[in-house]
Amino acid sequence: MSESRMTAAIPVLPVRETEAAAAFYAEKLGFRVGHIDPGYAILVRDGVQVHLWAATDEDWRRRDGGRPVQSGAESFLAGTASCRIATEGIAALHDACRQSGIVHPNGALADKPHGLREFAVLDPDGNLVTFFQPLPAA
């Protein structure tokens, strides 16, 4: 283990429709669409990537009682994830998101006791995206 080094983590969020979700990230949060198809999208802004995958399997609605839900892409998964994105200039990003009306009602910009200033938005599917920045040293 000591010979390995992790270099990045990329959130992959379940959505109902990749094109609609990608448009939100591009138009409201300033991401560029790096790739998109009906099943997967890659969004990029600065050094951050957010991936979206289509949770569109509706077979669980018709399954018999003996077969478990098993595809891993069931539609009920859309909107059940969250991620945190380290940010510089968080006040400006918060202002832009507030003006767009996308700041989560319980996610206003606030200084937290764990040493971070943060705020949150919900994407159209309900995935929670929290932006954070370390508080200045006291």
pTM beyond cutoff 0.85: yes
Q: Are 32 and 43 a contacting pair, CB within 8 Å? A: yes
Predicted confidence band of residue 67 (pLDDT cuts 50, 70, 90): low
pLDDT in tens, 84-100: 999 999 999 999 999 99
- Round to whole Å and give the CA distance between 132 and 54: 27
* 12-66+73-134 carries CATH number 3.40.50.620: no
Domain-by-domain residue ranges, the chain? 12-66+73-134
CA 19 vs CA 11, 22, 62, 116: distances in Å? 17, 5, 26, 32
- Round to whole Å and give the CA distance between 121 and 130: 6
